Structure 1
C-alpha cells in the first residue's frame, strides 16, 4: 500500500498537512476518508468551505484555494506507528513541497507530528514563528476521531482561527 496523491497546486491560501494516510484513506485514495475523522466537518463549520465535502470530492478543495498533503506518505492504522526518522524525513519533503508551491499558509494537523518533523519541541497549536520561504506555518489539532482532547466544536473553532487570518 502506497501513500495517496496530494491535492495541491499554485496559489493556495492554505495547504493542510495530515500526519500520514490512514488505512482507509490509502485504500480509497482519498484524504481523511475514515468516517470518524472530523477534518471535513471542521472545514465546513469553520467557514473554509460552504458545505461539507466528502472525501471523494477532495479535488474541489482547489476551488477554495485549499490543498492537502501529508508529512509521511506511508499509511498506517495509527500515527503512533511512525518513527521519528520518518517524521524528520517527512518534514524535509514537506519543506520542499512548500517551497515549490508557496501556499500562503501551511497548516500541520497534529502538534506532536509537527514537533518531531521540525524539531520544535515546545510548539503549541496555533501560529508558529517558523516560515518556509514566504509561507507562514500554523499547527492545528489532529482531526482524527482518536483525538479525544478536541470535540468537533473545539476543532472547528481552532480551524476558524486560521480561516480568519488566511
Structure 2
C-alpha cells in the first residue's frame, strides 16, 4: 500500500472509521480519536510512529506484530478497538472538552451494549476529561462502566516519549494478566 498524499490526509479530516468490535470481548481498547492517517486508510493506529501494534505484541496480546490493515484479527484474540471521539483530526488538541465529554457518554453506551470485561482507555488525559476523573492515573480504575472494569493505559503515540516501548509493554502486560488473557506466543 502506498502512503497517502498530503491532500489525501487533509481530505481524511473529520472522517469516522469503523470500530473493530464484537459483544463479550475480553478487552476493548479505546483510543483518543483517529488521526488523519487512520482516516485515510480506515485502520486504527495507522500512523507509522504509533507504537500500539508493537506494544500489543510485546505485551503478549498478539503472537506477532499485526499491521494496522490486519486489525480485524484482534477479534480472534478477544480484543477490539474504538475511540473516545470518533472524528479524525491531525492532533488530539483539536478536540474540545465537550467533544470528550460527549464521547465519554457515547462510549459508556457502547460498553453497555458490547459488555467487554475490560475497557482500556489509551490516554490518561482523554480519560480524565471524558469521565470527569481528574485524579485518574495509569492503571486499573475504581470505576466500572456498565459492569466492565476500566484500565487506563499510556498513549502509544510516538509523541508520548516519556513512556518507552518496554515500559508501555509492561503496563499493557499487566492489563493482559488482569484480563486473564493467555500470553500469545509466536511460532515464528
What band does the TM-score fall into relative to the shorter chain? Answer: over 0.9
Which deviates more from structure 2 when the two are superposed, residues 119-128 or residues 150-159?
150-159
Paired position in structure 2 for 1:68? 81
TM-score normalised to the size of structure 2?
0.87
What pairs up with 1:13-28 in 2 under 5 angstroms? 13-28=26-41
Paired position in structure 2 for 1:109? 122
Per-residue CA distance 1:14-71 (angstroms, 9 max, x = gap) = 0000000000000000000000000000000000011100000000000000000000
Asked if 1:128 is matched to 2:141, the reply is: yes
Which deviates more from structure 2 when the two are superposed, residues 115-124 or residues 150-159?
150-159
Shift of 1:151: 1.1
Number of residue pairs matched by the alignment: 166
| Separation in structure 1 between the aligned mates of residue 73 and residue 125 of structure 2, nearest angstrom | 29
State the Cα RMSD in Å.
0.6
| Separation in structure 2 between the aligned mates of residue 11 and residue 103 of structure 1, nearest angstrom | 5
| Separation in structure 2 between the aligned mates of residue 111 and residue 142 of structure 1, nearest angstrom | 8
Paired position in structure 1 for 2:42? 29
- Which sections of structure 1, spanning at least 5 residues, go unmatched? none
Shift of 1:118: 0.1
- Which sections of structure 2, spanning at least 5 residues, go unmatched? 1-13, 180-188
Larger radius of gyration: 2
Shift of 1:119: 0.1
**Secondary structure at the residue paired with 2:80?**
strand
What pairs up with 1:1-166 in 2 under 5 angstroms? 1-166=14-179
TM-score normalised to the size of structure 1?
0.99
